Amino acid sequence: MARAVSNRRRAINTALAWAVGLLIFFPILWTILTSFKTEGQAIADPPVFLFFDWTLENYAIVQERSNYMRFLMNSIIIAGGSTLLGIIVGVPAAWSMAFVPSRRTKDILMWMLSTKMLPAVGVLYPIYLLFIQLGLLDSRLGLVIVLMLINLPIIIWMLYTYFKEIPGEILEAARMDGASLGKEILYILTPMAIPGIASTILLNIILAWNEAFWTLNLTAAKAGPLTAFIASYSSPEGLFYAKLSAASTMAIAPILILGWFSQKQLVRGLTFGAVK
Amino acid sequence: MTFKSVLGVATALTLVAGSAALAETITIATVNNGDMIRMQGYTDDFTAKTGHTVEWVTLEENVLRQRVTTDISTKGGAFDIMTIGMYETPIWGSNGWLVALDDLSADYDAGDILPAMAGGLSHDGTLYAAPFYGESSMVMYRTDLMEKAGLEMPAAPSWSFIAKAAREMTDRDNGINGICLRGKAGWGEGGAFITAMSNSFGARWFDEDWNAQFDTREWSDTLNFFVNMMSDSGPAGYATNGFNENLSLFQQGKCGMWIDATVAASFVTNPNDSTVADKVGFALAPDNGMGVRSNWLWAWALAIPAGTQKEAAAKQFIEWATSKDYIELVAANEGWANVPPGARTSLYENANYKDVPFAQMTLDSILSADPTNSTVDPSPYVGIQFAAIPEFAGIATEVSQEFSAVYAGQQSVEDALAKAQALTNDAMEAAGYR
């Protein structure tokens, strides 16, 4: 029986949710507002919130100074490519762990997750040397591979969790009807796990889009994505906060819009199996 | 068509094809600051003169330092020119990581580079990086507040005068702090300031046997003086203030004095950004009567990593970017106040540049800094606000974190100095110096 929730309690919960939401969103909002200020207004004390002379000057300067579209295309290719490759590798791996587990499956899962605890800088030199040897330095292919490998533990963990929710009997029935392994994964498992796979894809695109260690350290002039674009506007000797904010807004806009439109799918996928 | 004209056409085609084949695309890693960004805007001039094109990788200073260090130490070859500073140049030069710039053309006039800059960017007398712009540090002060306090700033003030003036200028009710200084952790932030300041108090990082010197009275005097002055007259939360935070405070009229990089002079006197642009005076960084002032010396310079396939084109770019002609080009388009300062002697002999209000004090500050003789007592290292050894950046970052904890009121001066002494000696022992 559903519990009756009083109007007062509902109002408090709603207000609390809005307050938390605004608190989380405030830094992004402030960045967007700052991007429309002059450099002087950006550092004004007390800060100006809404009542200032809005200007597009920072966006014009950023557009003139940087090739935004090149950075954007690199981001799309690197984030999309690494996620796609990760899903291609992750789906069969998660299938085997969910439906054909061995005694060591749990250990393997924990080991995969533990690789995320290693500080990235600890393997910078080995990976950099490998990239030099393989000719992958400053290439989008190199970053696609590295980001796929970095995010693979998360992809497999998420898919494993979703696959575990699917009754194994359905797959058994398909097998009895003569479905091959490939067909079983492609036509039975995948359609049933679409919400989970979709949320895995979305989350990994966001992670790859925002990744700022490898994308800065393994690129130069050609393959730099939007993280490199933002880094080019940061300076410890000179006040360029308004321009930096404009660059940041341009960098986060695509992923913000993607997240906005896909939030229902994302929440549904992330809470899949959480409530029985 | 005659034989001669056929020969002429063939020769012309060969020359065109030859020049096209020689045209290179060079990749340059650089920092994001006003002068460097301005240079990027003039790249077309370089391309028109040489046929070479340029691809820029602009990064924040600390990111750039990590990025280029990784690349040059692994011989990655991602860049044909790197923007590096006075700290890296002698170390990388001695490692054989940089191309020597000892064969620049006669037109370039390498002898015109300010001797202090050339010295700091050389190893064993060989120049390894050409200075694009150089800086020292100096006092920037509010002339109106100084007058209101009934004081007159000497051209070469002492620390006791600065502390007194800071107290007199402080007006907490109106949000004015007598003095704004760097307290932020980081060897290039608060670490650079306190090290340069300590030189004028007779302190040094190491004795001649590489033993840490934080247990000396000179270091205790330095840190106690700094903390007391900032407690009396500094802004709240100065432990997290670096260059940008102090620039922001000064531009908004909240600082009576600010001792920092000479390049800041063009920012605080720019009426578009600064509310006190017409009320700023300049003086040499303070001393303590011990024969050494507290100013530092730094240059952002262009260097060629050894092993680049485009060494000739890279040298051409460096000759263009750090030439007298480039200075003339910027002056013609954007005025003399915007030319890259602190690199060439001829700039300070130029009558037009002498009209820039901070030009002479910048030159005087640079000339009074000597990286090879920066301490009162002899020291084994080169550098003023740093010691040019590979271990310094790591050690000084940790030491500056201890000092920032003092500024934040989290520990005493004595505790911080004891920790600095121990961690520095440990690191130097591990590195084989002791």
- CA of A225 to nearest chain B CA: how many angstroms apart? 12
User: CA B39: distance to chain centroid?
Assistant: 17
Which residues does B122 contact at the CB level (< 8 Å), separation at least 6? B89, B90, B93, B128
Residues B78-129 pLDDT 10s: 999 999 999 999 999 999 999 999 999 999 999 999 998 999 999 999 999 9
For residue B179, pLDDT beyond 60: yes
Q: Give the pLDDT mean for B381-410.
A: 95
pLDDT over 70 (residue A152)? yes
Whether residue A220 and residue B79 make contact (CB cut-off 8 A), yes or no, is yes
In this structure, which amino acid lies at residue B356?
A: V
Q: In whole angstroms, what is the distance from residue A29 CA to residue A97 CA?
A: 42
Instruction: DSSP for A125-139, please give it.
Output: HHHHHHHHHHT-TT-
Burial code (b: 16+ CB inside 10 Å, e: under 16) for A93-131 equals bbbbbbbeeeeeeeeebeebeeeeeeeeeeebeebbeeb
pLDDT at A5 over 80: no
Number of neighbouring beta carbons within 10 Å of residue B11 = 10
Tell me, what DSSP letter sits at residue B432?
Answer: T
Q: What is the CATH number of domain A66-232?
A: 1.10.3720.10
B59: which chain A residues are within 8 Å (Cβ-Cβ)? 216, 228, 231-232
Please, is B166 exposed, middle or buried when counting C-beta atoms within 10 Å of its C-beta (0-12, 13-18, 19+)? buried
Instruction: pLDDT band for B15, please (50, 70, 90 cuts).
Output: very low
Contacts of A217 in chain B (CB under 8 A): 66-67, 70
Structure confidence at residue B384 (pLDDT): 95
The model's pLDDT over B251-266, given as tens digits with 9 standing for 90+, comes to: 999 999 999 999 899 8
Torsion of CA B239, B241, B242, B247, to 10 degrees: -150
CB-CB neighbors (< 8 A) of A216 in chain B: 59, 63, 67
- A interface residues, B as partner, C-beta within 8 Å: 39-40, 43-45, 65, 124-125, 128-129, 131-132, 137-138, 216-217, 220-222, 224, 228, 231-240
Chain A CB contacts of B136 under 8 Å are none
Please tell me the predicted confidence (pLDDT) of residue A41: 87
**Residue in B closest to A124 by C-alpha:** B70
Q: For B43, which residue in chain A has the nearest alpha carbon?
A: A65
ipTM of the complex: 0.82
Pick from B32, B62, B251: CB nearest A232: B32
State which H helix or E strand residue B64 sits in. helix B61-73
> Do B243 and A236 form a contact (C-beta atoms < 8 A)?
yes
| Distance between A166 CA and the closest CA of chain B, angstroms | 46
Asked if residue B277 lies in contact with residue B253, where contact means CB atoms within 8 angstroms, the answer is: no
B135 versus B17: the higher-pLDDT residue is: B135
Give the pLDDT score at B94: 94
The interaxial angle of helices A194-210 and A68-99, nearest 10 deg, is 140
Which pLDDT score, from 0 to 100, does residue B34 have? 82
Domain boundaries, chain A: 66-232
Mutation target to probe the B interface, by most B beta carbons within 10 A, among A128, A232, A244 is: A232
**What is the Cα–Cα distance from B88 to A179, expressed in whole angstroms?**
64
Q: How large is the average pLDDT for residues A40-49?
A: 85
pLDDT of B195 strictly over 80:
yes
SS3 content of chain B, % helix, strand, coil (to 5): 50, 15, 35
Distance CA B131, CA B141 (A): 28
Question: What does the pLDDT read at residue A183?
Answer: 87
**Six-digit token pair at B242?**
């670096």
For residue A275, the model assigns a pLDDT of 44
Please state, in angstroms and as integers, the Cα–Cα distance from residue B98 to each residue in B56, B68, B92, B269, following that order: 19, 12, 6, 37
Residues B276-291 have pLDDT tens digits of 999 999 999 999 999 9
Q: Is the pLDDT of residue A70 over 60?
A: yes
Give percent above pLDDT 70 in chain B: 95
Percent share of chain B, pLDDT over 90: 83
Q: Identify all chain B residues contacting A237, using CB atoms and an 8 Å cutoff.
A: 33, 61, 243-244, 261, 263
More confident of the two residues B116 and B4: B116
Burial A197-233 (b: 16+ CB within 10 A, else e): bbbbbbbbbbbbbbbeebbbbbbbbebbbbbbbbbbb
As to burial, measured by CB atoms within 10 angstroms (0-12 exposed, 13-18 middle, 19+ buried), residue B201 is buried
CA A221 to centroid of chain Cα atoms: 23
- Look at B33 and A238 and tell me if their CB atoms are within 8 Å: yes
Q: Which helix (DSSP H) or strand (DSSP E) does residue B130 occupy?
A: strand B130-142
Contacts of A43 in chain B (CB under 8 A): 248, 251-252
> Which of A8-17, A165-174, A267-276, B330-339 has the weakest average pLDDT?
A267-276
Mean per-residue pLDDT, A63-79 = 95
Q: What mean pLDDT comes out for the span B408-429? A: 97
Query: Which pLDDT band holds residue A195 (cuts at 50, 70, 90)?
Result: confident
Please determine, for residue B1, whether its predicted confidence score (pLDDT) is greater than 70: no
Q: How far is B132 from chain A (nearest CA, A)?
A: 16
CA of A102 vs chain B CAs: smallest distance (Å): 42
For residues B215-238, average pLDDT: 97
Do A122 and A217 form a contact (C-beta atoms < 8 A)? no
Neighbours of A47 (CB within 10 A): 13
Tell the CATH topology of B24-135+297-354.
D-Maltodextrin-Binding Protein; domain 2 (3.40.190)
Q: What is the pLDDT of residues B338-369, one digit of tens each?
A: 899 999 999 999 999 988 889 999 999 999 99
One-letter amino acid for residue B202 of the chain: G
Residue B208: pLDDT over 90: yes
pLDDT at B11: 54
- Interchain pair B67, A138: CB under 8 A: no
pLDDT digits (tens, 9 = 90+) for B287-341: 999 999 999 999 999 999 998 999 999 999 999 999 999 999 999 999 998 899 9
Closest residue to B78, CB basis, from A43, A137, A239: A137
The confidence score (pLDDT) of residue B290 equals 95
B19-51: pLDDT as tens digits: 445 789 999 999 988 889 899 999 999 999 999
Return the pLDDT at B18.
Answer: 47
Output the average pLDDT for chain A: 90
Are B70 and A124 in contact (CB < 8 Å)?
Answer: yes
- Least CB–CB distance from B76: residue in A128, A231, A236: A128
Where are chain B's structural domains?
A: 24-135+297-354, 138-296+381-430
B6 pLDDT band (50/70/90 cuts)? low
| Of A45, A217, A239, Cβ closest to residue B244 | A239
In single-letter form, the type of residue at position A89 comes to: V
Model pLDDT, residue B62: 83
**CATH code linked to domain B138-296+381-430:** 3.40.190.10
Q: Average pLDDT of B164-180?
A: 96
Angle of helix A241-261 versus helix A57-65 axis, rounded to 10: 90
Q: What is the distance in angstroms between the Cα of A217 and the nearest Cα belonging to chain B? A: 6
Of B60, B76, B78, the CB nearest to A236: B60
Cβ <8 Å between A231 and B242: no
Out of B74, B242, B251, the one facing A125 most closely (by C-beta) is: B74
| pLDDT score of A258 | 87
